[in-house]
Amino acid sequence: MYILPRICSRHLRQLLGKSFFRYASTSSQDVPHVCIVGSGPAGFYTAQQILKGHPAARVDILEKLPVPFGLVRFGVAPDHPEVKNVIHTFTTTARNQRCTFIGNVEVGKDISIEDLQKAYTAVVLAYGADDDRTLAIKGEDSPNVISARSFVGWFNGLPQDKDLPVDLDVENVVILGQGNVALDVARILLTPISILQKTDISQHALDALSRSRVKKVYIVGRRGPLQVAFTIKELREMTKLPDCRPVIHKEDVENLDKVIKDLPRPRRRLTELLYKTCMEPSDTDTHLWSQASKEWELRFRLSPIEINEREGKVTGVKLAVNQLQGDDLINKKAVATSETEHIDCGLVFRSIGYKSIPIDPILPFDTRKGIIPNIKGRVKEKPGLYCSGWVSTGPVGVILNTMTGGFETGKIVLKDLEDGIITSEGKRGNEMIKEILESKGKQMVTFSDWDKIDEEEIKRGSVFGKPREKIADISEMLRVAKS
């Protein structure tokens, strides 16, 4: 017979963690109910941390669309399926017995923040950045001047963008902005249809792209090659596009080799690739590029001042030539000169950044920065309210940054629970909000309902030889969910 050794409570606390005894004795009335608004990466990573860090906490994830995963589903380019692998992790979180997904619920419209605060111990706002920064120039509202965000939503099957009026019966395109989204747009416009048709790109976009006459894409930035916002992975993909050549002007990069060694590593590697693509291309690349029928061109130190049109059609962009000022190699400021330049084109994409929007009058909101004012995820002067992801930081970083931020917000919620700053007394969680939603006749979508949509999309995709064909109509999503 084995005799278990006696362990004093102090040693037991050390073994199990200081929070164990507080949480282990949690009564059913004191179970923390946490609501997360938004089912993108920020929402799921925050949920993951809370579920992991508290053995009794219950987490509800509210989503305005009937389908989960946010930007992973609707923002990642279809030719980047590896980035979408995080969906497997999110699915594991959603299937946790203490996690509930509630789709087709728009906070601020179907239910208020005040309602959520009455029902939940903590409310975490993680609804991302749904609006664009604008240029505020003449001609910006012309037909075929399009938000890059909306275009990405269009080819990814986002319901609000499925009917986006995109005229691809043009040869030249200008993309204003030099971030990863700008390169995503350029790549989708220039990638052979034979490659795209094997992805989960929406069929309406694939059909339109198959008729496209686009031959050249200008990717325009207001600063120089040392200030581009895209990353090396995306640039390398652009240099390897089949039947497409890069155009980088020698005068823009010829002196970069003198400063490369002084740059931080990620910027150094990116700058090396820019330099070598222009100044030292391989014989293989040179041969392939000479035979290409399409091309993309990087243009630097240009700021748009007017979009020209004639008879309701875009004809080009007028740009100011900039000078860069400042002693720092990377953090230079672009200052417009009196010199101007014109690029002929029939389609313009605005890709200069996103911003979040206020979803409820009760929320404090910084309209200039497009974020909810917060201190390390705690919404200012609103105990029990938290924020995570782009709505708290602005649209910066990649999924890894969002993961780190989500984990940190989750830890802050757990700490406030442990310190008694927020309490669970009288909180009934989704039991309470479901009563409100049902009284309004709102159809709620569960994660099991999402499984039905998922299965139907995969089935539809198989007809075209694709991984899936996304349902882009909300009423149709709801019909499948209810089936």
Burial class (CB in 10 A: 0-12, 13-18, 19+), 190: buried
pLDDT digits (tens, 9 = 90+) for 85-135: 999 999 999 999 999 999 999 999 999 999 999 999 999 999 998 888 899
Strand-strand pairing, 302-310 and 313-325: antiparallel
Neighbours of 79 (CB within 10 A): 16
Task: Report the alpha-carbon distance of residue 452 to residue 460 in Å, rounded.
Answer: 12
- What tokens does 298 get? 């990087």
CATH class given for the domain over 27-130+355-445: alpha beta
Residue boundaries of the structural domains of the chain: 27-130+355-445, 134-352
- What tokens does 380 get? 């200012």
Q: What are phi and psi of 362, to 5 degrees?
A: -70, -20
The model's pTM is 0.91
Sheet holding 294-299, edge to edge: 145-147, 347-350, 172-176, 216-220, 294-299, 244-247
Task: Report the alpha-carbon distance of residue 248 to residue 377 in Å, rounded.
Answer: 42
Whether the CB-CB separation of 204 and 460 falls below 8 Å is answered with no
Whether the CB-CB separation of 253 and 275 falls below 8 Å is answered with yes
pLDDT digits (tens, 9 = 90+) for 433-443: 999 999 999 99
Per-residue pLDDT, 21: 39
The domain 134-352 having CATH identifier 1.10.3470.10: the answer here is: no
Nearest residue to 115 (alpha-carbon basis) of 37, 39, 180, 177: 37
The alpha carbon torsion through 238, 242, 248, 253 (nearest 10 deg) reads: 60
**What residues are paired with 350 via a beta bridge?**
147, 176
Burial class (CB in 10 A: 0-12, 13-18, 19+), 207: exposed
Per-residue pLDDT, 29: 57
- What tokens does 368 get? 């200039």
First to last CA, the chain: 57
Strand-strand pairing, 374-375 and 378-379: antiparallel
Per-residue pLDDT, 194: 97
Neighbours of 131 (CB within 10 A): 12
**What residues are paired with 313 via a beta bridge?**
310
Whether the CB-CB separation of 301 and 224 falls below 8 Å is answered with yes
Three state DSSP letters for the chain: CCCCCCCCHHHHHHHHCCCHHHHHCCCHHHCCEEEEECCCHHHHHHHHHHHHHCCCCEEEEEECCCCCCHHHHHCCCCCCHHHHHHHHHHHHHHCCCCEEEEECCCECCCECHHHHHHHCCEEEECCCCCEECCCCCECCCCCCEEEHHHHHHHHCCCHHHCCCCCCCCCCEEEEECCCHHHHHHHHHHHCCHHHHCCCCCCHHHHHHHHCCCCCEEEEECCCCHHHCCCCHHHHHHHHCCCCEEEECCHHHHCCHHHCHHHCCHHHHHHHHHHHHHHHCCCHHHHHHHHHCCEEEEEECCEEEEEEEEECCEEEEEEEEEEEEECCCCCCCEEEEEEEEEEEECCEEEECCCEECCCCCCCCCCECCCCECCEECCEECCCCCEEECCHHHHCCCCCHHHHHHHHHHHHHHHHHHHHCCCCCCCCCCCHHHHHHHHHHCCCCCECHHHHHHHHHHHHHHHHHHCCCCCCCCCHHHHHHHHHC
* Per-residue tens of pLDDT for the chain, all 483 residues: 323 333 333 443 443 344 443 444 455 557 999 999 999 999 999 999 999 999 999 999 999 999 999 999 999 999 999 999 999 999 999 999 999 999 999 999 999 999 999 999 999 999 998 888 899 999 999 999 999 999 999 999 999 999 999 999 999 999 999 999 999 999 999 999 999 999 999 999 999 999 999 999 999 999 999 999 999 999 999 999 999 999 999 999 999 999 999 999 999 999 999 999 999 999 999 999 999 999 999 999 999 999 999 998 999 999 999 999 998 889 999 999 999 999 999 999 999 988 899 999 999 999 888 999 999 999 998 999 999 999 999 888 778 889 999 999 999 999 999 999 999 888 999 999 999 999 999 999 999 999 999 999 999 999 999 999 999 999 999 999 999
